[in-house]
Amino acid sequence: MVAKRSLGRQFGWLWAAYAASAFGTRLAFDVFPLIAILVLHAGTTEVSLLAAAGLVVGAVVAVPLGPWVEFRRKRPVMIAMDLIRFAALLSVPAAFALGRLGFAQLLVVSVVVGAADIAFTAAGGAALKALVRSADLVVANGRFESTNWIATVLGPPLGGAVTGLFGPVVTVLADAVSYLFSAAAIRAIGGGEPCPARTGAPRRPRVGDLVEGWRYIVADPALRPLFFNTVLVNGLIMASAPLLAVLMLGRLGFAPWQYGLAFAVPCVGGLIGSRLAQPLVTRYGQRKVIRRAGALRACWPLGLAFIGPGVAGLVLVMAVEFGLIACMGVFTPVFAAYRLERTGADRIARTLSAWSITSKVTIAVLTALWGLLAGLTSARTAIAVAGLLLLVTPLLLPRPVRPVTAPAAACP
């Protein structure tokens, strides 16, 4: 049995902060659309606008935050983003209690939380690289990944029960409180954190800093293909999710509890995959694991186009999702560690911000396009098209490095 590797007390507090916010977020999964429907009696257009605005507008607002985060101490930034998310989310139950909650407030809160999420993630990546040795980054990201999947298994069912008993606004309050716990855990990390130096550049952020993250990604021969691959894969998978819900809950007649079960149980695959990430890297190396796990995760979603009714259809969804999530459980921590290793310490926040912003905007755009495609054809056809396009995405993964063979010496 392999002994569990200790990453130190400081990482332990960072991990605790991640766990607190992850469980809070999963507990309140899709709660804003629920509030819009159940409390504000919003229509389909308003609910769609709410879902898209948090991604797109939040991402646009976050563009100048990358350079701002880069040249500041990361842990105070993370605490500030936690407190901003706490205050924004707390305003929802407060307004509800006063009878003043409106759709516009949900929209504003969604944008604020979306932008703060991006800034927190960027600062968190830089903080992780400063706290953990390069050799331990896969292990550290694997623990984050396993925590995420555990939260995904437990959070939505528990949140659904809380919503059923007390209403959706209570889960927003729980999510808000989770950010207080996260801020307290980050504060408990302790130790000094040097202020990042801005060598050879003016102290005031320049306009060029806004695009420095994208410039750095595109210029790096290893990060560039990973960037396009992960953004496209995540976008196509997320674009298919609402259509799958329509297909299963509508035409195929699955009950809501069956739909929830179909996606909760396979999350165990993410926990297994994240535990396998470090042993696989030790045996095969980072780049080979990234290529193989990255290619395998693209092979599963096409199977969702063949779902039928009844137990057989439910089992098919679970099998496909289990395979997909297990591959993602391996790929994500290895990819995240590799990205941190490839990125200079003076560019981490801007690079991670650019990555998150592009991913969120792509998800929003592809979700809208796939909704249109499903309207013109059918949900099953749109899911199949996304699955077929995913089969091409492994071509965007980094090419294997071939050893250079020295020419044979000529005979004298």
pLDDT tens sequence across 100-152: 999 899 999 998 998 899 999 999 999 999 899 988 999 999 999 999 999 98
CA–CA dist 325, 308 (Å, integer): 21
pLDDT at 45: 65
Band of residue 344 on the pLDDT scale cut at 50, 70, 90: confident
CA–CA dist 179, 16 (Å, integer): 11
Band of residue 266 on the pLDDT scale cut at 50, 70, 90: very high
pTM score, two decimals? Answer: 0.85
CA–CA dist 153, 149 (Å, integer): 6
Residues whose CB falls within 8 Å of the CB of residue 298, separated by 6 or more in sequence, listed in order: 233, 390, 391, 393, 394
> What are the pLDDT digits (tens) for 147-205?
999 998 888 888 878 877 888 899 999 999 999 999 999 999 987 777 776 554 445 55
Taking the CB of residue 276, how many other CB atoms lie within 10 A of it?
A: 17
> What are the pLDDT digits (tens) for 378-388?
889 999 999 99
Comparing C-alpha atoms, which of 232, 224, 282 is closest to residue 398? Answer: 224
pLDDT at residue 207 greater than cutoff 90? no
Comparing C-alpha atoms, which of 276, 307, 310 is closest to residue 293? Answer: 276
Length of the chain: 412
Q: What is the mean pLDDT of the chain?
A: 87
Contact call for residues 330 and 270 (beta carbons, < 8 A): no
Taking the CB of residue 64, how many other CB atoms lie within 10 A of it?
A: 16
Comparing C-alpha atoms, which of 289, 386, 265 is closest to residue 337? Answer: 289
Dihedral sign, Cα of residue 392, residue 398, residue 400, residue 405: positive
What angle, rounded to 10 degrees, do the helices at 223-246 and 379-390 form?
160
CA–CA dist 188, 13 (Å, integer): 7
CA–CA dist 166, 376 (Å, integer): 39
pLDDT at 260: 78
